[in-house]
Copies of this chain bind each other. A is one copy, B any other.
Amino acid sequence: MALPGLPVLRTAQDTRARLRQIAARLHSNQQHTRQVETIIAAVREQGDAALLDFTARFDGQRFAAQELLVAPEAGARALDSLPTELRLALEAAHSRIEAFHCQQRPPDIDMTGPYGERLQRCWRPMTRAGLYIPGGRAAYPSTVLMNAIPAKVAGVEQVVMVTPPSKDGSVNPVVLAAAALAGVDQIYRIGGAQAIAALAYGTETVPAVDVITGPGNVYVTMAKKAVYGTVAIDALAGPSEVLVIADETAAPELVAADLLAQAEHDPLAAAVVLTTSDHLLSRLPSCLARQLAEHPKPATSARSLQDWGLAAKVATLEDAVDLANEFAPEHLELLVAQPDTLLPRIRHAGAVFIGPETPEAVGDYLAGPNHTLPTSGTARFAGALGVETFMTNMSLIHYTHGALEATGQHVMAMAASEGLHSHGESVRRRLKTQKE
Contacts and interface: CB of A to CB of B under 8 A. Distances in A.
A291 interface: yes
Contacts of A383: 123, 392-395
Given A380-B210, A381-B210, A392-B382, A264 B420 contact: yes
A392 B380 contact: yes
Given A139-B418, A257-B429, A421-B264, A119 B369 contact: yes
A422 B295 contact: yes
Contacts of A127: 347, 380
B367 A126 contact: no
A413 B89 contact: yes
A76 interface: no
Assembly stoichiometry (copies): 2
Nearest to A432: B253
Contacts of A410: 88-89, 92-93, 365-366
Interface string A389-415: 000111111111101100101110111
5 contacts: A264-B422, A291-B422, A362-B397, A364-B411, A379-B394
Contacts of A142: 414, 418
B225 A397 contact: no
A351 interface: yes
Interface in A368-383: 368-370, 373-374, 378-383
Interface in A281-296: 291, 294-296
Contacts of A346: 394
Task: In the A-B complex, list the 3 residue pairs whose CB atoms are closest, starting with the nearest.
Answer: A383-B393, A369-B395, A89-B410
Contacts of A411: 89, 361-362, 364-366
A399 B358 contact: yes
A89 B414 contact: yes
A22 interface: no
